[in-house]
Each structure stands twice: as C-alpha cells, then as structure tokens.
Amino acid sequence: MPEKSNNKKVLLIIFGGLFAVAIAVVGGGYWFFKHQATDFFRETQAAAAEARKAGANMSEVLCFDRAAERLKTPEGHSIGGSIRNSVVLGACLQPSQPVASFCEGVPDYGNILDGALWEAKTCAALDETGAEYCTHMVREVAKYCSSPGRAAKLLRAANKQPGNAGTGETK
C-alpha cells in the first residue's frame, strides 16, 4: 500500500508544478500586454505608416527584398520583430508598383497545404534558418497575392498601357 501513496504524491507534485508554470505564463502574458503591448503596437503602426509611404515608390519585389533583409537581422529573429516585419511588408505591398511576375507560383492564401509547402520552399531559397519567422513573413505575400486589391492594381496597370485608353481591355 505505501507505493500507491508515493505515486499520488509524485502525481500531485507534477500537476502542482505544471499548474505553477501555467500561472506564471498567464501572469507574464498579462504583464506584457498591460505594460509593453501599447508601445509595441504604437511602434508597429508607425513603421507600417512609413512603409505605406515608401511602398508607393517601390515595386512589389523591392518591398519583399527589404522585408527579407530585415528578417536576417537579430530583431527579425524574435516574435515581435517577425510580427512587425510582416505588418510592414503588408503595408509596403499595398501601394507598391505591381510586377506581373511577382505572384507567379504563389498558392491561394486559403490553400493551407500548398501554402505551407510554398512557404518552406521560399524560406529555403532565402537560406533563412529561422523558418518560424520566415514563414510568417512569406505568408503575408500569399495573403497579398490573393487579395482583391492586388487584382485591381494589376487591372489599373494594364489599363494604363498605351493603346488601352481606359477601356478595360488588356493586351
């Protein structure tokens, strides 16, 4: 009978420890959001506003290349840096100049399996070791490429080609 008593004590210690860890994680999350999140979100919004201004004078490719450069920095290999980089990339892509081939091979944002494979392949091509941070960034590209905004942007660019004179026809 003494063995069962010891097993109960061990289980109580294990579950008590897990409970203490869970409380520490919840408490740490609460503290972060109460004291740090406001600054983080403010800084991210300011960076996104700058990216929207800069993106108006950049191609989609240049927006992506700059995000890939940021990813390779120490800040790019953090959760906050990854979130900020993805938000900035999305903000830059919105007003950027379209490049017809930019979205070639990018699966539809809703296609989860093909998207995951494409993300892994793209991050491998970037030679990015922090895959969890890279995939977050390239997922933003898939989201953008599947957006109605990008489709409208391509249509507007096609209408500006000589000989189309705003008829809606493309060459």
pTM: 0.73
Q: Which domain holds residue 91?
A: 37-159
Residues in Cβ contact with 80 at an 8 Å cutoff, skipping those fewer than 6 apart: 40
Of residues 25 and 36, more confidently modeled: 25
pLDDT level of residue 65 (50, 70, 90 thresholds): very high
The answer to whether the beta carbons of residues 104 and 70 sit under 8 Å apart is: no
101 and 26, same domain (yes or no): no
161-169 own/partner pairs: CB under 8 Å, 24+ apart: none
Tell me which amino acid residue 135 is: T
64 and 5, same domain (yes or no): no
104 and 54, same domain (yes or no): yes
Q: List the beta bridge partners of residue 59.
A: 97
93 and 55, same domain (yes or no): yes
88 and 138, same domain (yes or no): yes
Residue 11 lies in a domain: yes
Task: Give the Cβ contact number of residue 62 at 10 Å.
Answer: 16
142 and 113, same domain (yes or no): yes
68 and 112, same domain (yes or no): yes
pLDDT level of residue 1 (50, 70, 90 thresholds): very low
Instruction: Indicate the number of domains in the chain.
Output: 2
Q: Which two tokens stand for residue 159?
A: 């209408």
